[in-house]
Structure 1
Amino acid sequence: MKYMKMAAIAMMALALFSCNKKNEPKTEAVLKICINDAELRTLGDKYNAGDQTTCESDVKITLDNGTEITLEGQDLADAKDLTKGYKKDINFVVNTVSLTANGVINTTTNITTLQGKNLKTEIALAAPATPVKVSTEGDKTVYTVILEPKPAVARLEVSGKIKGQPNAANVNAFQDITVEHVYVNNYLSTIDGTRHMCVTNGKDGFAADPALEGAMNDEIKAADKDAFEKMDKVAGYYLFPKKAKETPVAPDYFDHVILKVKITYTPEAIALDPTLEQKTVRFITIARFMITEETDLDGGFLAGVIYKLDLNELSKDFKTGDDGKPDPENPDTPDPEPNQKKQLVVKVKPYTWTAQNIKPNINGGYKK
C-alpha cells in the first residue's frame, strides 16, 4: 500500500509538471508592446490633414490573464516607437493584449461630456484584445503585439456659406442667408442608451421642452461669422455610432443637423410676396446623409471618421422660382423637425481614412 501511494504521488507530480511545462515559456519570456497611433488622423478647428490623436494619458494595457500595466513616461514613449516597443520580462504565457487611453468611455458616459475636447489629446481611445505574435530571441520567448487604438466616436463638422440661387432669367429672390445656430438632434446620449430628441416638430423654433442641450448647440456669433463661412472655424460635435440593433427608419434615421438661419430677401421678391417679411427666421433640418449612394450612410456615422458638411453645398437647393419668388420646395421651414415626411439626402465625399466632405443631394431628402 505504501508503495502504491508513493507511485500515485509520483504520477500526479509528473502530470502536473507536464501541464505546467506545456503552458510556460522555455526559460524566460518577454512581452513587447507597440502602440501604432499614427492612423488616428483628423481635420478640425483648426486641425490639419495629418494631425494625430495619440495616447497621452491614462494609458493602460490589460493582458488576457487580467494583469494590468500602466504606461507612462519612457515606457509610453518606447511603446509608441514601433521600431523599439515597450518590453517587460514576464514568467507567464500571454495570448492577447488590449488597451485604453485618454480616459474610458463606458455605458454611462454622456456624449455631452465629450464636446469641446481636444481631438489630438483628450478623446478616449481603445484597442480590443489583440492576439500576440510568438517568436524566440535566444533562450527567451517573445510575445509581440502592435496595438492600433481607435476612438469610440465619430466627429461631425459643420461650416460654410449658403447662397440663394437665381432663376434662368438671373433673378435672385435672396439677398443673404446667414446661419445663426447649428444644433445636433436625435443623437445617442450614451453609447448604448436612447436617442435624445430635444426638438420634435419644434413649434416656435427652439422653444421646446425638453430644453436644448447647450453642448450640442452652437451659436454663430457675429465675431465668428466670417470665419465660419470661410470654414476657418467649424461647429464640431462628437457622436456615438448607432447601436448594433438599431435600424434606420424614415423620416428620422439617426443624427440630425438643424440649422437656424436668417434669410434676407431682395426688395423685388418682397414686392412680389409681402409675406416674406414674416419669413426671415427659418430652419433647415437634415436627417439623412450619404456618401455616393442614397443608402450608404443610412447606417449612421462610423466611429473614427470625421464628416465635414460644407454648407455651400446646400446653396443649390435654395432656388428662385420662375416667378421671382423663393421656390416653395426649398428646404427651409418655419420650425425645426417638421413632421411632413421629407429628408435631406447628404452626400459624403471621402478624403483620407477619417475625413469625408459632406454635400447634400436633394432627392426628397429635406425634412419638411
Structure 2
Amino acid sequence: MKYMKMAAIALMALALFSCNNKNNEPKNEVAQLSIRINDAQLRAMMDPAETDAQTLITDNVVLTLDNGEQITLNADEIAQAKGTDGYKKPVTEVVKTVSLVANGKIEKTTDITTLQGKDIATEIALTAPATAVSTTVKDGMTTYEVELSPVPAVARLEVAGKIVGQENKTTHKQAFKDITVEHVYVNNYLSTIIGTRHMCVTNGKDGFAATPVLQKQMNDKIEAGDKEAFEKIEKVAGYYLFPKKDDETASAPDYFDHVILKIKITYTDEALVADPTLAQKTDRYVTIARFMKSATGDLDATGFLAGTIYKLDLGELSKDFKTGDDGKPDPENPDTPDPEPTANKQLVVKVKPYTWTAQNIKPDVNNGYKK
C-alpha cells in the first residue's frame, strides 16, 4: 500500500512537470531567407556594337550573412534570385544583413593587370555591401527579405578620338597639319585595391624608364588599321581601374590616375618656315594627370568611381593645341618631349561619367596637363 501511494505521487508529479514544460518550451518557428538580386542598372560600356549590353550576374555568386555563414548559389538559384519572387532558403538563425560577391572576387592581392580585357558583360566582379533585411511574420513563417543591387568593383576608362590643332583666331595662321595619337598609356594607377600607385615614369626624361616595368596590359598602340576607327571613337583604348583608396587625397601634380598620349605632330610648311626646329619636335607626349566632369575639381574628391565608365574624347584636347600670332605652336600647348614631366604646370581633363553607362571627361585648363 505504501509503495502504491508513492507510485501514484510520482505519476502525478511527472504529469504536472510535463504540463508545465509543454507551456514553457520555446516555439520551433519556421523561418526563411528571401533574397532578390537587382542587376538591371549595371550597364555596359558604350561600345557602338553592343549599346544594350549589361554586366549581369552569371556565376560565382556567394552570399554572406551577418553571422559569417556563406551561401553559394547555383545557376537555377541565381535565376530565382533575379526573378520577381527572389531566391528563398530556410534558415535556423536570425538574419540581420546580407552581402554579395559575384562573377569572381577582388582580393587584396588581385593585380589590376589581370582584369584587363575581361568581358564587361559577364566577367567583371560585382559586390553588394552588407544590406539590412526586413522581417515579416505570416502564418507562423518568419521571412527575412532583402534586395541586393550589386555594383562593379572597378571603374572603366575609355580613350579615343581625334586631336585637331587650332588656327590663330587673329591672324588665322595654322601651325598644325595633323596630330596623330600613336600610343595610349595609363600611369599612376593602383596595382592592387589596397596597394601603391604604379608609376611607369618618375623622372619625365628620356621617355619611359626601364624600371618600374611598363605593364603591357595598361597601354595600347594605335595600329594604322585602327587609326580611323579610334579617331571616330568606334574603337577605344579601354582600361579597368581600381577606385581611389579611402585615405587618398588629390594633390598636385600627380592627383590619381594618369593618361599619357604619344603623339605624332605634322606641322604646316608655314610653321616650319617660322621655326625650322619643329622638324625635330614631331614625336611628343601629352600627360593628363587631372580630370573633371564639368567643373574644375569635381573629380578630386572621388577619383574614378567603381561602377562608372569614364569616356575621354580626345577631341576635348583640340582647343589646347593653339597657334600663336607668329604661326608657330603656342609654347603653352600641353605637348612635351617626354612623358610625366617634372614641372607642376598641368591641365585638368574633362570626363563624362556614367553609372555603367558613359561619362565623358576632358582636360581642365587648371593644372590638368603635366608640363
Deviation per residue, 1:201-239 (Å, 9 max, x gap): 332222442231101011001111111100011111111
Question: What letter matches 1:313 in structure 2?
Answer: E
Partner SS state of residue 130, structure 2: strand
Distance, in Å, in 1 between the alignment partners of 2:118 and 2:48 is: 13
Segments of 4+ in structure 1 off by > 6 A? none
1:294, CA displacement in angstroms?
1.4
SS in 2 for 1:307: strand
- Residue 98 of structure 2 corresponds to which residue in structure 1? 97
Residues 153, 240 of structure 1: 8 Å contact kept: yes
Q: What is the deviation of 1:46?
A: 4.7
Give the conservation status (yes or no) of the 8 Å contact 2:312–2:352: no
Return the match for 1:261 from 260, 263, 267. Answer: 263
Q: 2:293 aligns with which of 285, 291, 294?
A: 291
| Aligned pair partner of 1:347 in 350, 355, 358 | 350
Distance 2:210 2:339 in 1: 10
Q: Which of residues 305, 308, 330 is equivalent to 1:305?
A: 308
SS at match of 2:351: strand
Computed over aligned residues only, the root mean square deviation of the Cα atoms, in angstroms, reads: 2.0
Matches within 5 A, 1:17-32: 21=26, 27-32=29-34
* Structure of higher CA gyration radius: 2
Which residue does 2:61 correspond to in 1? Answer: 59
Q: Is the 8 A contact 1:202 1:208 kept in 2?
A: no
Aligned residue for 1:52, secondary structure, equals coil
Q: Are 1:321 and 2:324 an aligned pair?
A: yes
Larger CA deviation: 90-99 vs 255-264: 90-99
User: Matched residues, percent identical?
Assistant: 67
Q: Is the 8 A contact 2:290 2:363 kept in 1?
A: no
SS at match of 1:123: coil
TM superposition score normalised by structure 2: 0.89
Distance 2:203 2:354 in 1: 35
From the superposition, tell whether residues 353 and 225 of structure 1 become closer, same or farther in structure 2 (CA, over 3 Å): closer
Return 5+ residue gaps in structure 1 as ranges.
1-5
Residue 316 of structure 1 aligns to which amino acid in structure 2?
Answer: K
Match for 2:253: what amino acid?
A: P
State whether residues 44 and 234 of structure 1, in contact with CA within 8 Å, keep that contact through their aligned partners in structure 2: no
Is structure 2 residue 95 aligned with structure 1 residue 86? no
Give 1:173's match in structure 2, choosing from 172, 175, 196: 175
Indicate the residue corresponding to 1:134 in structure 2: 135
> Which residue number corresponds to residue 198 of structure 2?
196
The runs of 5 or more residues in structure 2 that have no matched partner are 1-12
CA deviation profile, 1:34-79 (whole Å, cap 9, x unmatched)? 1111111132445655432111111111222222221122111010
Question: How big is each residue's C-alpha offset from its partner over 1:2-30, in whole Å with a ceiling of 9 and x where there is no partner?
Answer: xxxx9xxx9xx98xx77xx4xx8x62112
Q: Does residue 336 of the first structure (1) align with residue 339 of the second (2)?
A: yes
Residues 114 and 361 (structure 1 numbering): CA distance in 2 closer, same or farther, change over 3 Å?
same
CA distance in 2, matches of 1:343, 1:138: 67
Q: CA deviation at 1:106?
A: 1.3
Deviations 1:227-264 (A, max 9, x none): 11000111111111111111212111110000000001
Q: Return the alpha-carbon distance in structure 1 between the equivalents of residues 330 and 356 of structure 2.
A: 38
- CA shift, 1:350, in A, is 4.5
1:282 counterpart residue number: 284
Quote the Cα distance in structure 2 between the aligned partners of 1:232 and 1:207.
32
Q: Contact conserved, 2:308 with 2:355, CA < 8 A, in 1? A: no
Counterpart selection for 1:250 from 249, 252, 266: 252
Q: Provide the secondary structure at the position in 1 that maps to 2:121.
A: coil
The one-letter code matched in structure 2 to 1:140 is M
Verify the 8 A CA contact 1:289 1:360 in the aligned structure 2.
yes
Please state how far the C-alpha of 1:265 moved relative to its aligned partner: 0.6
Q: TM-score, normalised by structure 1?
A: 0.90
Aligned residues of 2:363 and 2:369 also touching (Cα < 8 A): no
* Residue 133 of structure 2 corresponds to residue 149 of structure 1: no
